[in-house]
Amino acid sequence: MLRRGNQPGRLAKQLIRRVGDADIALAGAETRPKVLKSLEDAEVQEVRAAVRADGRTLEELIAELRMEIDSRAERRERRTELIKNKVEQGRLWRSVGVQERIPQMALAGPARTVVLTLLAALDFYVFAQSYAVLADVGGYGPEWWLGGLLGVAVFIAGVALAHGIKASILARAQKQMLADADAGRFKIDLDIREQLVESKSSPLALSLTTAIFLLLSIAGVLVRTQGTAGESTGGAVILFQALIPLVAVAVELYLHDPTERDEPMPNIVDRRLERRLAKAERRLRIVAAQVEAKVSQIEKLYRVEEAILDVEQKDMGLRHTTDLVLGGGHIPTMPTNGRVAEVDRDQLEKTIKMARRS
């Protein structure tokens, strides 16, 4: 078969040399082009088969990634349906300016995540160190991690307490805004006023959250006190450490926006799946383009071979079977409107057999 870099005409000359001199005249000039075409088809199929397995693997990966992306999108739609009313109410209350009546500090999402992560890590470390001293253990054993988990629990309880306080403040602000609107002291569009729903806070839930946070904080203070009893640490240091959970409550109280209930958006996992899908699709397109480029190159090489074969056969006096001169005359044809009609197939075969016998 042909490969790039072969000398042009190699296959054409081989096909001519393989026929003996006695058989050249009767071999038929149409036979060699058919053989050349068969070789071309075989080489093209070989190239396509070589990448078929890789293409199938990429197609399976693409189908799997699309199924996973669609599945996650359906789950987001279900979550969106559950909170659709809350999302709409948050948008409506923001449109009438309720954020101006609650303590709020605007901070970008990534910056807020960094701040809360640092506070949580601080709680974790302080409680872990104190509990390790209390248990009189060194290193990072189970007691150290238990103390750290206690610190994380205090932090989570503080965040929940901040959210509860903020929800209570929002409920009072909404109630006051509706009262002002009804009394004419605050103007709200009537269409929006009919859609607004006042939030309700739960005093029981807020009290329970406060109690849990206080108990955990007291337990933390006791742990620190017992852990530093044999050392020269003053009460001011212990008080400073005890205020750390309250710092998290104060920070989250200002950063949290209870009206900010947006629809679930694609997260880092979704974006990673989309990048993998785009990469696989791009790789599949590249493979397909490479295959077509190789096929095109092969076809060009065989077109050269066909042209050279045709020239070689004409130089040797070889023509198609219907053009051969047999017995001193041409095969009978019938002219029609300047064109040569096709010879009857049976008559052609009889003529060829007679020529072979002579």
Q: What pLDDT, on a 0 to 100 scale, did the predictor assign at position 215?
A: 86
Residues 116 and 200 in one domain: yes
Is 243 inside a domain boundary? yes
- Structural domain harbouring 2: 1-102+273-319
Residues 70 and 126 in one domain: no
Question: What whole-number distance in Å separates Cα of residue 80 and Cα of residue 267?
Answer: 14
Is 324 inside a domain boundary? no
Number of separate domains in the chain: 2
**3-class SS of residue 221:** helix
Residues 35 and 91 in one domain: yes
Q: What pLDDT, on a 0 to 100 scale, did the predictor assign at position 21?
A: 44
Is 122 inside a domain boundary? yes
Q: What pLDDT, on a 0 to 100 scale, did the predictor assign at position 279?
A: 93
Residues 46 and 145 in one domain: no
Residues 160 and 298 in one domain: no
Would strands 339-340 and 335-336 be described as parallel, antiparallel, or unpaired? antiparallel
Residues 247 and 301 in one domain: no
Q: What pLDDT, on a 0 to 100 scale, did the predictor assign at position 336?
A: 38
Question: What whole-number distance in Å separates Cα of residue 314 and Cα of residue 330?
Answer: 18
Question: What whole-number distance in Å separates Cα of residue 68 and Cα of residue 46?
Answer: 34
Q: Which residue among 212, 234, 258 closes a domain?
A: 258
Residues 13 and 65 in one domain: yes
Is 352 inside a domain boundary? no
Q: How many CB atoms lie within 10 A of CB 105?
A: 11
Residue 356's H or E segment, with its range, is helix 345-357
Q: How many CB atoms lie within 10 A of CB 110?
A: 8
Is 344 inside a domain boundary? no
Question: What whole-number distance in Å separates Cα of residue 39 and Cα of residue 48?
Answer: 14
Which structure tokens are listed for 30? Answer: 């149409």
Question: What whole-number distance in Å separates Cα of residue 358 and Cα of residue 350?
Answer: 13
Is 358 inside a domain boundary? no
Which structure tokens are listed for 330? Answer: 């041409």
Residues 248 and 203: beta-carbon distance below 8 Å:
no
Residues 122 and 98 in one domain: no
What are the mean pLDDT values of the chain's consecutive 10-residue runs (358 residues total)? 53 57 51 74 79 82 92 88 82 82 80 88 84 73 84 89 90 86 81 82 86 83 63 63 82 85 79 92 87 83 76 65 43 38 42 42
Residues 94 and 111 in one domain: no
Is 29 inside a domain boundary? yes
Residues 130 and 98 in one domain: no
Residues 96 and 112 in one domain: no
Question: What whole-number distance in Å separates Cα of residue 147 and Cα of residue 170?
Answer: 35
Is 266 inside a domain boundary? no
Which structure tokens are listed for 132? Answer: 């390790």
Q: What pLDDT, on a 0 to 100 scale, did the predictor assign at position 278?
A: 93
Residues 81 and 183 in one domain: no
